[in-house]
A and B are shown apart, each in its own frame.
Chain A
Amino acid sequence: MKRTARNRIVVPYRSDRTFYGHGIPRVDLQQLAGKLIVVEGADGSGRSTQIARLVEWLEGCGHATVQVGLKRSTLVSEELDKAQTGNILSRTTLSLFYATDFADQLENIILPALKAGFIVLADRYIYTLMARDMVRGMDEAWLKNLYGVALEPDTVFYLKVPPEELVQRNFAKNMSLDYWESGMDIGLSRDMFDSFLQYQHAMEKTFKYLQTIYGFTIVDGMRSADAISAELQKKIEAVLVGK
């Protein structure tokens, strides 16, 4: 890490950008000089740890960073939290509410930051949102149209950790399993432990499927944090210089 800090700062290579679908009206993609890096994975997969490390490393290398994540928009994050606590919204509604949260951050944080040449680190992106909805039986074509607003990232990592290990990590950290991360709303099982495993297996399967469409990098999350960081850094370095 120290080594890079002393080296000449890499000016990110400017690549062609596209939206996945219709995109956001009146956005000039040519102006987006920064880079968008996405880290996907379940709770307990090590996402936050890796993102914190990436920020340290990127800043050390002379890059300005911005972080975004799900349910962090000014517009609807509070209301989304409330709605989730009561579990009162039906699936299409919840899905659109999350899409609103995403679009708000895309337009108000991600795009302006990229325009200003920042490296944007996204703690999950549309793939988690799509996978959650697909596991709940929502139509794939409908989701693709909906998330056609999204910008294609420069690179996407999926930290893969088997559900059996996720259980252990969640217990080690919180001593409990999250209602939504256990998919309790679907009614897979009355037993939360069983439900968690079934749900996370279904999510893993869906991610595997989405990978064939969106081509993200699957990272083995069972290794040490250092080993994982090294892999992410190597890939990001390649992105910065245009491979």
Chain B
Amino acid sequence: MKTFAELGFPGRLIAVEGLDGSGKSTQIYLLKRWLELQNLKVYFSEWNSSDIVKAATSKGKKRELLTPTTFSLIHATDFADRYERHLVPLLRAGYLVLCDRYIFTAFARDVVRGCPPEWVRGIYNFAALPDLTFFFKADLEVSLQRILDGRPQLKYFEAGMDLRLSTDPYESFRIFQGRMLEQYLAMSTEFNFLVLDANQLVEAQQNMVRELVGRRLDLGKFRQAERLPARPSKETPKRQKTVVQEVAE
């Protein structure tokens, strides 16, 4: 498997991975804002965002129809849809694509569910590797607390209830997340994860993220082309100002 850079794509893909509650979504959001404010071509993609496959996935989850195999396959379908319709064209067009979770989530999750690792990896081998992968490594207890504090109602598959680890959703979630963490750590070296200490403060982590991105990528290449404005307007700088204020807050 090769990265997008190795495959000659003009765009670059940055992925964040980590357990639920590791703070990765906050970090990638702040990274996105930073890149956007530099007027770069940025696209942000969430894990479950395809409309067509979404219906089937949510039906399967709601009615608890999914087995480890079909769970894996339906998520692969969803990923392929986003990959072929959004990620690849944008990367061809020279965008910085940010992914909140990428194939490594599937590698960890499906293997914890009992799917053979080679089978899962084989299915995803149509996808190129990210150019940068950040792994937010938090203590298991810290990420568990973040989730369990904020949202006490755990969903069936999210808690790994289908694995029959425990009849108690909270206990099941703990065991499931612990196994996910083991899988992530086992992949870390193989896939060149940039491991960040997610127990630190948000700002400290973001500092590292921005520094690494700035150092590894030639950001100047991704600047939006200057275009003639459709009509003279003073709205654009005004809007940006509000966003800056928002981030500063």
Which residues of A are interface residues toward B (Cβ below 8 A)? 21-22, 24-26, 74-76, 78-80, 82-83, 88-93, 95-97, 99-100, 103-104, 107-108, 139, 142, 145-146, 148-149
Contacts and interface: CB of A to CB of B under 8 A. Distances in A.
Nearest to A144: B122
A97 B53 contact: yes
B84 A100 contact: no
Contacts of A80: 56
A74 to B, nearest CB: 6
Contact of A75 (B60, B68, B115): B60
B119 A103 contact: no
Contacts of B119: 21-22, 145, 148-149
A76 B56 contact: yes
A26 B52 CA distance: 31
A100 B66 CA distance: 10
A112 B44 CA distance: 43
Q: By CB atoms of chain B within 10 A, which of A24, A78, A82, A100 has the most?
A: A100
Interface stretch (B5-13, B75-83, B224-232, B237-245): B75-83
A104 B85 contact: no
B52 A82 contact: yes
A76 B123 contact: no
Contacts of A90: 80-81, 84-85
A142 B122 contact: yes
Contact of B84 (A21, A83, A92, A146): A92
A25 B59 contact: no
B240 to A, nearest CB: 35
Contacts, number: 92
Interface residues of B, number: 31
Contacts of B168: none
Given A145-B119, A145-B122, A25 B85 contact: no
B65 A89 contact: no
Interface in B47-76: 52-53, 55-56, 59-60, 65-70, 73-74, 76
Interface in B118-165: 118-119, 122-123, 125-126
Given A88-B52, A145-B123, A93 B70 contact: no
Given A25-B69, A93-B84, A104-B65, A75 B74 contact: yes
29 contacts: A22-B118, A25-B113, A75-B60, A75-B74, A76-B74, A78-B56, A80-B56, A88-B52, A89-B52, A92-B80, A92-B126, A93-B77, A93-B80, A93-B81, A93-B84, A95-B80, A96-B73, A97-B77, A99-B77, A100-B56, A100-B70, A100-B77, A103-B73, A104-B70, A107-B67, A142-B123, A142-B125, A146-B122, A146-B123
**Chain A: interface secondary structure?**
helix
A10 B204 CA distance: 74
A89 B73 contact: no
Interface in B14-46: none
B220 interface: no
Nearest to A146: B123
Nearest to A21: B119
Contacts of A89: 52, 81
Contacts of A139: 126
Given A21-B119, A103-B73, A145-B122, A96 B65 contact: no
Given A22-B118, A22-B119, A79-B53, A100 B81 contact: no
B116 interface: yes
A75 B67 CA distance: 11
Contacts of B70: 75, 100, 103-104, 107
Contacts of B77: 93, 96-97, 99-100
A145 B122 CA distance: 6
B73 A100 contact: yes
Given A22-B119, A79-B53, A149 B85 contact: no
